[in-house]
Structure 1
Amino acid sequence: MTPKNLLFVIRQTPYGPLPGKEIVDALLACSAYGQNISILFINDGVFHLSPNQQTQLIKKSSVEKMLSALAIYDIDEIYACEESIALRNITLSGGPLTVTLLDRSKINALMSKQNKLLSF
């Protein structure tokens, strides 16, 4: 079977109704089946990329460590919306991932190349 291009579009905060851990689990499951995985953090999803998350204050596990393991699973096409990062004043240095920032036109181009979009 030919691998599909799957883009995970992460729009929600990492500790909201659908925890970041569940999203990472879905990413790893798709990767295990040999799919071509890309990730786009947009809107409040860019909060996944914040360094030094103080999760002990909310008694949750940090998604930072889980996200840093994505490279082991050959998930290295990781993008973030430039506008979402700027609006939320997120600093990417020291964060869990190395990301490529995209403007809206590049996001549209990325989405058009995918077989499936999975939105979280």
Structure 2
Amino acid sequence: MSIEDYGGGQTAQADVLVVTTNDVPGHQVTQVIGEVFGLTVRSRHLGSQIGAGLKSLVGGELKGLTKTLVETRNQAMERLVEQARARGANAVLMMRFDVSEAADVGTEVCAYGTAAVISRS
């Protein structure tokens, strides 16, 4: 697996900047649009479940699960950006992830933050 399988985030060419901070140095917030979020629920297939169960007996990283969670977070983030863009934002401030179990059948991942329009100071 490559480094791309274990991480995520934006490219340098992103048209909607997503940050975990309240503001962006060198920029001012000119308009707050409001809360935006991207949500996805994923389940693992039976083979993955069995493999993870066996691996948990001996310990170590569950690489298949790690890859699935990275893909899930990235999809939630993409949906967050799509919603912000559709509402006219060029930034999402204070982005966070929330992860929970969804009815014992999958993992729910929600990326959320505050959509805003920012400009250079």
| TM-score between both structures, scaled by the size of structure 1 | 0.24
Q: Could you say which structure has the higher strand fraction?
A: 2
Q: Could you say which structure has the higher helix fraction?
A: 1
